[in-house]
């Protein structure tokens, strides 16, 4: 379980002034919940993830991860999938997927077998000997998802993982992610600026807006699973949710764009 308790984050500008990026943010992510944080650019949602991972310290408040206050880099039983695939360019797909297993001291034969299994699961079975530079952006992203799933962390943080991809690849990967998550439940905290993606994936959508960013709404998504993302746009329930969430995003959005 992950809990944000009245978290505020301040940064110092180069001019020496203090700017609040996040203000009094509180919410919880339950075990095995797919929680999506959505908000316009500049609302501090990526900062939220960095705080949760302990990559930067909170200014006020507390973040509690599995009963422990986050004070330094969280590295036990968590996965992190970033906007860029962040693969090792000098390692093959298989070696990339094996690296967290190697860190965990899994014996060589076993980590090979596990990595192969995950490469197959994300559709990279034929490409295990390729280098990242030989893969398309979508395939690199598949590889980074396989790398995280391979060591089976209980919680995964995802920072706009499908942001740089084209619409078709994005939809296919969202479906892949949901299928993986349905067979192997995990707690996911997923950051995005894409409303459709937020509704399509999440059990819960948390809307962050404003400067400094604060929680505007916590909206449960009652859409039944498994969901067919490519046909969601025609679903009336989806359209209602979309309109509702937009209403929380509207104030202040013009000033950003």
Partner 1 sequence: MSARIESRSTAVAVDGEIVAPKTSSRASRDRNWRLKVSIGQVVAILAILAIWQGISGAVIPAYLISSPISVISDTITLLQTHTMWTDIWVTAQELILGYAIGVVFGILVGILMGSVKFLSGVFEPIIAGINGIPKIALAPLFLLWFGLGIWSKVAQASMIVFFVMYYNVYMGMLSISPMLVKLFQVMGAKRGYVARKVVLPSLSIPIFAGLKACVPFAMIGVIVGEFIAADKGVGYFVLQATQQFDSAGLFSGIIIMVAMVLVGMRIVTFCQNRVLFWQKQDHGR
Report in angstroms how near the CB of residue 65 gets to partner 1 at its nearest.
12
List the structure tokens of 182: 């349905």
Nearer to partner 1 by Cβ, of 85 and 215: the residue is 85
Cis before 166? omega within 30: no
Interaction site with partner 1 (CB under 8 A): 53, 55, 73-76, 78-80, 82, 84, 86, 88-91, 99-100, 102-104, 123, 126-127, 130-131, 133-139, 151, 169
Nearer to partner 1 by Cβ, of 128 and 215: the residue is 128
List the structure tokens of 35: 């929680």
Would you call 66 helix, strand, or coil by DSSP?
coil
Report in angstroms how near the CB of residue 29 gets to partner 1 at its nearest.
17
What number of other Cβ atoms are within 10 A of residue 88's Cβ? 12
Nearer to partner 1 by Cβ, of 79 and 202: the residue is 79
Nearer to partner 1 by Cβ, of 150 and 219: the residue is 150
Report in angstroms how near the CB of residue 55 gets to partner 1 at its nearest.
6
Nearer to partner 1 by Cβ, of 112 and 242: the residue is 112
Query: Among 181, 124, 132, which Cα is nearest to 153's?
Result: 181
Would you call 3 helix, strand, or coil by DSSP?
strand
Report in angstroms how near the CB of residue 212 gets to partner 1 at its nearest.
24
Report in angstroms how near the CB of residue 49 gets to partner 1 at its nearest.
11
Helix axes 108-121, 137-150, angle to 10 degrees: 130
What number of other Cβ atoms are within 10 A of residue 17's Cβ? 8
């Amino acid at each position: 379980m992950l809990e944000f308790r009245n978290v505020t984050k301040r940064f110092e500008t180069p001019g020496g002034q203090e700017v609040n990026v996040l203000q009094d943010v509180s919410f919880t992510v339950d075990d095995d919940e797919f929680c999506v944080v959505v908000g316009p650019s500049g609302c501090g949602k990526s900062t939220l993830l960095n705080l949760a991972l302990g990559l930067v310290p909170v200014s006020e408040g507390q973040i509690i991860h599995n009963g422990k206050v986050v004070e330094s880099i969280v590295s036990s039983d968590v996965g992190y999938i970033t906007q860029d695939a962040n693969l090792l360019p000098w390692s093959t797909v298989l070696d990339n997927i094996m690296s967290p297993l190697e860190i965990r001291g899994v014996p060589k034969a076993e980590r090979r077998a596990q990595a192969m299994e995950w490469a197959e699961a994300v559709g990279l079975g034929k490409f295990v000997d390729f280098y990242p530079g030989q893969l398309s952006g979508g395939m690199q992203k598949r590889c980074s998802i396989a790398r995280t799933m391979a060591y089976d962390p209980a919680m995964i943080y995802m920072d706009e993982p499908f942001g740089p991809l084209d619409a078709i690849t994005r939809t296919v990967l969202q479906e892949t992610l949901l299928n993986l998550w349905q067979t192997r439940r995990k707690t996911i905290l997923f950051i995005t600026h894409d409303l459709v993606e937020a509704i399509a994936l999440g059990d819960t959508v948390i809307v962050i807006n404003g400067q400094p960013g604060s929680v505007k709404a916590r909206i449960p998504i009652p859409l039944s699973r498994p969901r067919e993302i490519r046909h969601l746009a025609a679903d009336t329930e989806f359209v209602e949710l979309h309109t509702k969430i937009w209403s929380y995003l509207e104030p202040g959005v013009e000033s950003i764009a």
